[in-house]
Chains A and B, each alone.
Chain A
Amino acid sequence: MSANPSHRDSTFPHRHLLGIEGLQPHEILGLLDRAEEAIEISRQVEKIKPVLRGRTQINLFFENSTRTQSSFELAGKRLGADVMNMAVSQSSVKKGETLIDTAATLNAMHPDILVVRHNAAGAVHLLARKVSCSVINAGDGQHEHPTQALLDALTIRRHKGKIARLTVAICGDITHSRVARSNIILLNALGARVRVIAPSTLLPSGIEKMGVEVFRDMKEGLKGVDIVMMLRLQRERMNGAFIPSVREYYRYYGLDQEKLAYANDDALVMHPGPMNRGVEIDPAVADGPQSLIREQVEMGVAVRMAVLEALAAHLPNS
């Protein structure tokens, strides 16, 4: 689909991207439009648009990540930035002091953009207050993962032509998912109807007031749905603490062909990865014709290029 020029012109007035919360709908759409352009660049032989030439981007990952980190790395490089990856081991950053120290150290290196993932909610916000560069939240605890929500939105829009008035079901471990929180905010901002489907033990308290319709029965919840977003279930939650067993979870909440048949015929299936095949999703569905899971990865690079480019506009030029 083609980008809407009116969104192209809208500026992105933020120095950081810490979450979807606080973004205006036109700002979100503006980022998606930029991302459309980035897709074109990424599909060229010469995948470069040097808007970040001479800039330094540091990927600071306090939590292990393969796909998000490499996606940000690629995005930065395609925009001409010098990208450095810093993996910080968990053990060395247990104290809040150390996080601040790390920030001060990094700040002294004069980076232009920091991409941060941390296992504690709010850690990225804390860091953003202590450095003088732009900060992008690449996931903070169970709070937000804004670029994931943006890439999901981009993927949906490219296939459905819109976000507004679509019905999107987010299924699985809502309680522990930053992806779910960012998506709930973004999809609501763009006028989608959002459902969550999960056993009560994986729903945060007050979920009914978070702008979603709540379903405990997956078949019921999938009726009339345009998009099915599956979430990853962490292994440590599978054996009796939150759900009794993998086989019971798969029986009631695993997305298989039978349950997917309750959704609209043209419903599309998404998953932020990495997948547990046979736990939350049937391999036949994950690899089936309705799956957008691989395409989400491509959209990830494009969306991160768009975010980097939007923030670059605020970087000091002298």
Chain B
Amino acid sequence: MVHDSPKPLVLTNARVIDPARGLDAPGAVILADGVILAAGPEAANQGAPDGAQVIDCAGAVVAPGLIDMCVSVGEPGHEHRETFASASQAAASGGVTTICTMPETDPVIDDPALVDFILRRARDTAIVNVRPLAALTKGLEGNDMTEIGLLQEAGAIAFTNGHKAIRNPQILRRIMTYARDFDALVIHHVEDPDLGGGVMNAGLNASWKGLSGVPREAEIIALERDLRLVGMAKGRYHANLLSTAESARVLAIGKDRGLDVTAGVSINHLTQNENDIGAYRTFFKMSPPLRDEDDRQAMIAALKDGTIDVIVSNHDPQDVETKRHPWAEAEDGAIGLETLLAASLRLHHSEDLDLLTLLAKMTINPARRLGLDSGRLCAGAPADVIVFDPDRPWVLEKKNILSRSKNSPFEDARFSGRTLRTIVAGRTVYTYD
């Protein structure tokens, strides 16, 4: 893709929300040369730069573009499920301007040359920012640590073992210890692989369905173990996907002890519960499994009180070959980039979370954790900006899904809240019409 310099852009008549400084006020946002020049009430009185395109937002929200810390793309190896091109189109339509890509590809992203490959493919084909996460262990097998230093130099933004926890605590401890020397963030899937061998949330529901259960303890024990190891290794740690009320309590205790720990939750666990599975609908099969309504509410409460820092889509494209199976044999995973913003706005409309808090979990919080200078509307920050109407109704129809895979648990769902325009590095990459 050839990138000539975009024209300066002025977004006027906007409701400017910048969670980094707690700003929610009428104003304008001025973008030029790929960065933000000004944003907020004061920007409304500033003149437009020469040759600027002026867009009247008609009262819609202008906010930093969303940063999604957990996105699976099929490239390399599973391009039929998703490519950087299709994933980034989906992201842009959902208001996501930066995707952090999981290393669970074929081959696994465990070598600096592969990080380089991703960055080059993304540069050539993606319309949003792509930040690769590299594997924590070679082949994601949980045994031998990867070249954290060289991978970081190649451009890996953080390190993860994907949707597979490292079983051996001594190995994880050494990796955390080594990662600390490079100030590298270790993102871990907290599910004990032995205890968590089932296929849906353990409990009455699973018992009636005749399915093996993943007990909450599989997550709680893994998280407790990890936090003890963080205490030994003194590294930076992020629990990727929490799903139980008790996990939030455990994490809060870890934070109180002064550990450098954060956590994320997937949008699915904030908006759905195990009852949504219905008649074995495999688009609702994911890891960790959907829990019950009490857990869902506890996740929202943990966002509200700051225990959970980040909301992710956990976008995981799967095709019919991997999903059209009996429940136990179907793969985990649901797409979510296109619906991340709209689905999260349900928490705003239900008055569980105010817009500032909600958006912080997808902008400034992940940006700070990953050391990105985006996710905020301050002068000099990258011009990654979205315009959205928090109330505009729409329905997710399968035929309109931009992702190459269609495994959305939100198929035919009604949403209030629509991305109208997505801008990456000052260039409009998506408009809704």
- Chain B associates with chain A: yes
**Contact indicator A199/B145 (Cβ below 8 Å):** no
Main secondary structure of the interface of A (DSSP, over half): loop
| Measured CA separation A35–B264 after assembly (Å) | 64
Contact with A along B146-181 (1 / 0, CB 8 A): 111110000000000000000000010010011011
The yes or no answer to A274 lying at the interface (CB within 8 A) is no
| Measured CA separation A241–B149 after assembly (Å) | 15
Contact with B along A251-265 (1 / 0, CB 8 A): 110000000000000
Nearest chain-B residue to A240 (Cβ)?
B144
Nearest chain-A residue to B234 (Cβ)?
A200
**Contact indicator A245/B147 (Cβ below 8 Å):** yes
**Contact indicator B181/A248 (Cβ below 8 Å):** no
Kindly list chain B residues whose C-beta atoms are within 8 Å of the C-beta of A252.
149
* Given A199-B181, A201-B174, A201-B178: A240 and B149 interface contact (C-beta under 8 Å): no
Q: Tell which of B143, B147, B150, B180 touches A200, judged by Cβ atoms closer than 8 Å.
A: B180
| Measured CA separation A244–B180 after assembly (Å) | 14
The yes or no answer to A297 lying at the interface (CB within 8 A) is no
| Measured CA separation A244–B138 after assembly (Å) | 9
The yes or no answer to A6 lying at the interface (CB within 8 A) is no
**Contact indicator B138/A243 (Cβ below 8 Å):** no
Contact with B along A194-208 (1 / 0, CB 8 A): 000001110000000
A171 to chain B, nearest CB (A): 14
**Contact indicator A240/B178 (Cβ below 8 Å):** no
The yes or no answer to B137 lying at the interface (CB within 8 A) is yes
Kindly list chain A residues whose C-beta atoms are within 8 Å of the C-beta of B171.
241
**Contact indicator A216/B181 (Cβ below 8 Å):** yes
* Given A199-B181, A200-B180: A241 and B148 interface contact (C-beta under 8 Å): no
**Contact indicator A247/B147 (Cβ below 8 Å):** yes
| Measured CA separation A248–B145 after assembly (Å) | 11
**Contact indicator B144/A241 (Cβ below 8 Å):** yes
**Contact indicator B144/A251 (Cβ below 8 Å):** no
| Measured CA separation A36–B9 after assembly (Å) | 80
B114 to chain A, nearest CB (A): 14
| Measured CA separation A216–B171 after assembly (Å) | 20
**Contact indicator B150/A239 (Cβ below 8 Å):** no
**Contact indicator B137/A243 (Cβ below 8 Å):** no
* Given A201-B174, A251-B150: A244 and B181 interface contact (C-beta under 8 Å): no
**Contact indicator A199/B138 (Cβ below 8 Å):** no
Total interface residues on A, using CB and 8 Å? 15
**Contact indicator A201/B177 (Cβ below 8 Å):** yes
Size category of the binding interface on chain B: 10 to 19
**Contact indicator B144/A242 (Cβ below 8 Å):** no
**Contact indicator A240/B181 (Cβ below 8 Å):** no
A253 to chain B, nearest CB (A): 10
| Measured CA separation A242–B147 after assembly (Å) | 11
Kindly list chain A residues whose C-beta atoms are within 8 Å of the C-beta of B138.
240
| Measured CA separation A209–B34 after assembly (Å) | 50
| Measured CA separation A240–B233 after assembly (Å) | 17
| Measured CA separation A248–B180 after assembly (Å) | 15
Q: Tell which of A239, A243, A247, A251 touches B178, judged by Cβ atoms closer than 8 Å.
A: A243
**Contact indicator A248/B150 (Cβ below 8 Å):** yes
**Contact indicator B146/A244 (Cβ below 8 Å):** yes
Kindly list chain B residues whose C-beta atoms are within 8 Å of the C-beta of A241.
144-145, 171, 174
**Contact indicator A248/B144 (Cβ below 8 Å):** no
**Contact indicator A200/B149 (Cβ below 8 Å):** no
Q: A residues 239-298 with Cβ under 8 Å of B? A: 239-245, 247-248, 251-252
Main secondary structure of the interface of B (DSSP, over half): helix
Kindly list chain B residues whose C-beta atoms are within 8 Å of the C-beta of A240.
137-138, 143-146
Kindly list chain A residues whose C-beta atoms are within 8 Å of the C-beta of B174.
201, 241-242
B148 to chain A, nearest CB (A): 6
| Measured CA separation A216–B183 after assembly (Å) | 11
| Measured CA separation A239–B137 after assembly (Å) | 11
| Measured CA separation A241–B174 after assembly (Å) | 7
**Contact indicator B177/A244 (Cβ below 8 Å):** no
**Contact indicator A248/B177 (Cβ below 8 Å):** no
| Measured CA separation A240–B148 after assembly (Å) | 11
Kindly list chain B residues whose C-beta atoms are within 8 Å of the C-beta of A243.
145, 178
Q: Tell which of B150, B178, B233 touches A199, judged by Cβ atoms closer than 8 Å.
A: B178
| Measured CA separation A243–B180 after assembly (Å) | 13
Nearest chain-B residue to A216 (Cβ)?
B181
**Contact indicator A248/B149 (Cβ below 8 Å):** yes
Kindly list chain B residues whose C-beta atoms are within 8 Å of the C-beta of A248.
147-150
A113 to chain B, nearest CB (A): 41
Nearest chain-A residue to B173 (Cβ)?
A201
| Measured CA separation A252–B149 after assembly (Å) | 8
**Contact indicator B148/A244 (Cβ below 8 Å):** yes
| Measured CA separation A90–B144 after assembly (Å) | 28
| Measured CA separation A239–B174 after assembly (Å) | 13
* Given A201-B174, A240-B138: A247 and B144 interface contact (C-beta under 8 Å): no
Q: A residues 188-224 with Cβ under 8 Å of B? A: 199-201, 216
Q: B residues 94-153 with Cβ under 8 Å of A? A: 137-138, 143-150
**Contact indicator B144/A200 (Cβ below 8 Å):** no
| Measured CA separation A247–B138 after assembly (Å) | 15
**Contact indicator A251/B180 (Cβ below 8 Å):** no
Contact with B along A11-26 (1 / 0, CB 8 A): 0000000000000000
| Measured CA separation A244–B135 after assembly (Å) | 12
| Measured CA separation A140–B233 after assembly (Å) | 28
Kindly list chain A residues whose C-beta atoms are within 8 Å of the C-beta of B177.
200-201
A217 to chain B, nearest CB (A): 8
Kindly list chain A residues whose C-beta atoms are within 8 Å of the C-beta of B181.
199-200, 216
Nearest chain-B residue to A252 (Cβ)?
B149
| Measured CA separation A296–B150 after assembly (Å) | 34
| Measured CA separation A127–B391 after assembly (Å) | 82
| Measured CA separation A201–B145 after assembly (Å) | 11
Kindly list chain B residues whose C-beta atoms are within 8 Å of the C-beta of A199.
178, 181
| Measured CA separation A16–B1 after assembly (Å) | 75
A279 to chain B, nearest CB (A): 15
Kindly list chain B residues whose C-beta atoms are within 8 Å of the C-beta of A216.
181
What are 21 sample pairs from A and B whose C-beta atoms fall under 8 A apart? A199-B181, A200-B180, A200-B181, A200-B233, A201-B177, A240-B138, A240-B143, A240-B144, A240-B145, A240-B146, A241-B145, A241-B171, A241-B174, A242-B178, A243-B145, A244-B146, A244-B149, A245-B147, A247-B150, A248-B147, A248-B150
6 pairs of A and B residues whose beta carbons are closest in the complex: A240-B144, A248-B147, A244-B147, A200-B177, A216-B181, A201-B178
Known: A200-B180, A240-B145, A242-B178. 15 other contacts (CB 8 A): A201-B174, A216-B181, A240-B138, A240-B143, A240-B146, A241-B171, A242-B174, A244-B147, A244-B148, A244-B150, A245-B147, A247-B150, A248-B149, A248-B150, A251-B150
